[in-house]
């Protein structure tokens, strides 16, 4: 049987699981993209031309049909088994109920649950009042669902449908990282239901095991952006100076006032053009083996007046627990470094094991200081940035192994990592 098409997404992504589990239930072949890099591959002009919202997952049928929304893709794949697809409704009422549960999971539950769990695993900044509201909404939804499931095995009818698959995938993150044993007892029908769905062989074929949350993580270290606080305090202290009369006059006829010179987007754009183009490096790094090819390219082209190297270390390693949570913390930090993408490249690695790990890595920055595009990121203050001499043999070896995610110069065993490019 020929493949239905390609699902563009990283393999480990709860939204992509929806379509993959549906295809697995129906034994429908679906091509996957194991090398897909979120935030990179969905930002290429080629991807955006096909899927303008740039969201992941996205589906591209062998017949050219394109679709971009995880639940819509799952529903579409369910429909490929024909009008009496076992995962779809058999009556108008069942179909409407399936839609009811899918839409409510996406609109009422998922935003609240992501805003509840995200700040605890470092995906989102922790803002106490917003977190409280999200938690209330999450728990209220789970309470309602618990009542719905009191005397039901599945959401609609007597068999599993696409609604169960969508909801179970949306429940993975809270069950892994938020709902403790006590919560699972409180929402016992939801827990029984979740376990039933994820233990189906077709589900297990895609997501073999889901470790349930043992201890709810504490909110990630609060953002300590002292610079912004100080700047705000300074602004508040400063009395507004009376403008000189001439300046006041000039304000009146706006058309007569000289136009201010256009503001440069970044101070870094005023630096002399670099001899090495950062995008050339990023492209070479992405398309070649890091050692020896990419690092040899780097040392051959590196422009030490245009760029500087920085060792980056997380300040609160003793608060880190699971490897995947530390890596999520790095992912969250990189998301908030978006403004720096044009001026920075780096790798942050998670080294060690669960309950004993550290975040460590190297960045290459445009210019000789850490630019405001980096210092403005909410969690910048949670990391130590130390300028280093890349010509020092030990540092050079560390940079190479850090960028390669392997090697004897890493201070501890490699567990996971992320590249900022």
Ligand X SMILES: N[C@@H](CCC(=O)N[C@@H](CS)C(=O)NCC(=O)O)C(=O)O
Query: In the bound complex, what is the minimum distance in angstroms from residue 233's beta carbon to ligand X?
Result: 34
- In the DSSP assignment, the letter for residue 220 is P
Whether the CA torsion 32, 420, 324, 378 is positive or negative: it is negative
**Which two three-digit tokens encode residue 111?**
């935003």
Query: In the bound complex, what is the minimum distance in angstroms from residue 68's beta carbon to ligand X?
Result: 7
- Separation between Cα atoms, residue 133 and residue 302, nearest integer Å: 49
Q: With respect to ligand X, which residue has the nearer C-beta, 48 or 277? A: 48
For residue 328, state whether it binds ligand X (rule: CB under 6 A): no
Query: In the bound complex, what is the minimum distance in angstroms from residue 385's beta carbon to ligand X?
Result: 26
For residue 13, state whether it binds ligand X (rule: CB under 6 A): yes
Query: In the bound complex, what is the minimum distance in angstroms from residue 410's beta carbon to ligand X?
Result: 29
Lateral strand order in the sheet of 307-314: 383-388, 307-314, 356-366, 344-353, 414-420
Binding letters toward ligand X, positions 24-63, x by CB under 6 A: --------------xx--x-----------xxxx------
The single residue among 41, 69, 108, 303 that binds ligand X, judged by CB under 6 A, is 69
Binding window for ligand X (CB under 6 A); candidates: 65-73, 163-171, 182-190, 268-276 = 65-73
Q: With respect to ligand X, which residue has the nearer C-beta, 120 or 404? A: 120
What number of chain residues touch ligand X (CB under 6 A)? Answer: 12
Which residues have C-beta within 8 Å of that of residue 146, sequence separation ≥ 6?
Answer: 186, 187, 188, 189, 190
3-state secondary structure of 49: helix
The single residue among 22, 26, 70, 75 that binds ligand X, judged by CB under 6 A, is 70
Q: With respect to ligand X, which residue has the nearer C-beta, 164 or 401? A: 164
Indicate the length of the chain as a whole number. Answer: 421
For residue 15, state whether it binds ligand X (rule: CB under 6 A): yes
Binding window for ligand X (CB under 6 A); candidates: 67-75, 83-91, 94-102, 155-163 = 67-75
Residues 359-388 that bind ligand X (CB under 6 A): none
Query: In the bound complex, what is the minimum distance in angstroms from residue 107's beta carbon to ligand X?
Result: 10
| CA-to-CA dists, residue 275 to 241, 290, 296, 352, 364, angstroms | 44, 21, 16, 37, 14
Identify the CA nearest to 120 among candidates 135, 105, 139, 98: 135
Query: In the bound complex, what is the minimum distance in angstroms from residue 10's beta carbon to ligand X?
Result: 8
For residue 331, state whether it binds ligand X (rule: CB under 6 A): no
Query: In the bound complex, what is the minimum distance in angstroms from residue 122's beta carbon to ligand X?
Result: 16
- Separation between Cα atoms, residue 17 and residue 7, nearest integer Å: 10
- Separation between Cα atoms, residue 125 and residue 143, nearest integer Å: 26
Binding window for ligand X (CB under 6 A); candidates: 69-77, 79-87, 96-104, 348-356 = 69-77
Which residues have C-beta within 8 Å of that of residue 196, sequence separation ≥ 6?
Answer: 153
Q: With respect to ligand X, which residue has the nearer C-beta, 69 or 313? A: 69
Query: DSSP string covering 97-125, please?
Result: HHHHHHHHIIIIIHHHHHHHHGGGTTSS-
Lateral strand order in the sheet of 5-8: 5-8, 58-61, 66-67
Query: In the bound complex, what is the minimum distance in angstroms from residue 330's beta carbon to ligand X?
Result: 16
**Which two three-digit tokens encode residue 114?**
């992501």
Residue nearest to ligand X (CB): 70
- In the DSSP assignment, the letter for residue 209 is -
Residues that bind ligand X (CB under 6 A): 13, 15, 38-39, 42, 54-57, 69-71
């Amino acid at each position: 049987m020929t493949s239905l098409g390609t699902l563009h997404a990283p393999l480990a992504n709860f939204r992509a699981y929806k379509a993959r589990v549906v295809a697995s239930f129906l034994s429908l072949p679906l091509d996957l993209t194991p090398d897909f890099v979120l935030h990179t591959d969905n930002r290429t002009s080629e991807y955006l031309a096909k899927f303008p919202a740039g969201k992941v997952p996205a589906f591209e049928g062998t017949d050219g049909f394109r679709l971009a929304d995880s639940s819509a893709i799952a529903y579409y794949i369910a429909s490929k088994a024909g009008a009496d697809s076992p995962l779809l409704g058999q009556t108008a009422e069942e179909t409407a109920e399936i839609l009811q549960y899918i839409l409510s999971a996406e609109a009422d539950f998922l935003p609240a649950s992501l805003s509840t769990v995200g700040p605890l695993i470092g995906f989102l900044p922790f803002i106490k009042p917003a977190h409280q509201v999200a938690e209330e909404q999450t728990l209220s939804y789970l309470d309602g669902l618990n009542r719905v499931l009191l005397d039901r095995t599945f959401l609609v009818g007597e068999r599993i449908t696409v609604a169960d698959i969508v909801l179970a995938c949306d429940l993975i993150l809270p069950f892994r990282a938020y709902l403790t044993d006590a919560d699972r007892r409180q929402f016992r029908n939801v827990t029984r239901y979740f376990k039933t769905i994820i233990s189906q062989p077709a589900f297990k074929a895609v997501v073999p095991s889901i470790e349930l949350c043992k201890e709810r993580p504490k909110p990630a270290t609060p953002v300590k952006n002292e610079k912004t606080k100080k700047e705000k305090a300074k602004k508040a202290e400063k009395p507004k100076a009376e403008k000189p009369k001439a300046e006041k006059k000039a304000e009146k006829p706006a058309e007569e006032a000289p136009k201010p010179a256009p503001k440069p987007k970044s101070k870094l754009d005023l630096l002399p053009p670099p001899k090495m183009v950062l995008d050339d490096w990023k492209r070479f790094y992405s398309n070649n083996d890091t050692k020896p090819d990419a690092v040899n390219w780097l040392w051959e082209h590196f422009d030490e007046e245009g760029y500087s190297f920085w060792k980056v270390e997380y300040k609160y390693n003793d608060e880190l627990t699971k490897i995947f949570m530390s890596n999520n913390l790095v992912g969250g930090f990189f998301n908030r470094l978006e403004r720096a993408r044009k001026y920075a490249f780096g790798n942050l690695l998670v080294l060690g094991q669960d309950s004993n790990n550290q975040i460590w890595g190297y960045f290459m920055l445009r210019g000789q200081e850490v630019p405001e595009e980096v210092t403005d990121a909410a969690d910048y203050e949670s990391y130590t940035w130390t300028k280093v001499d890349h010509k020092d043999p030990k540092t050079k070896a560390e940079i190479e192994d850090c960028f390669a995610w392997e090697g004897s110069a890493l201070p501890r065993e490699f567990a996971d990592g992320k590249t900022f490019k």
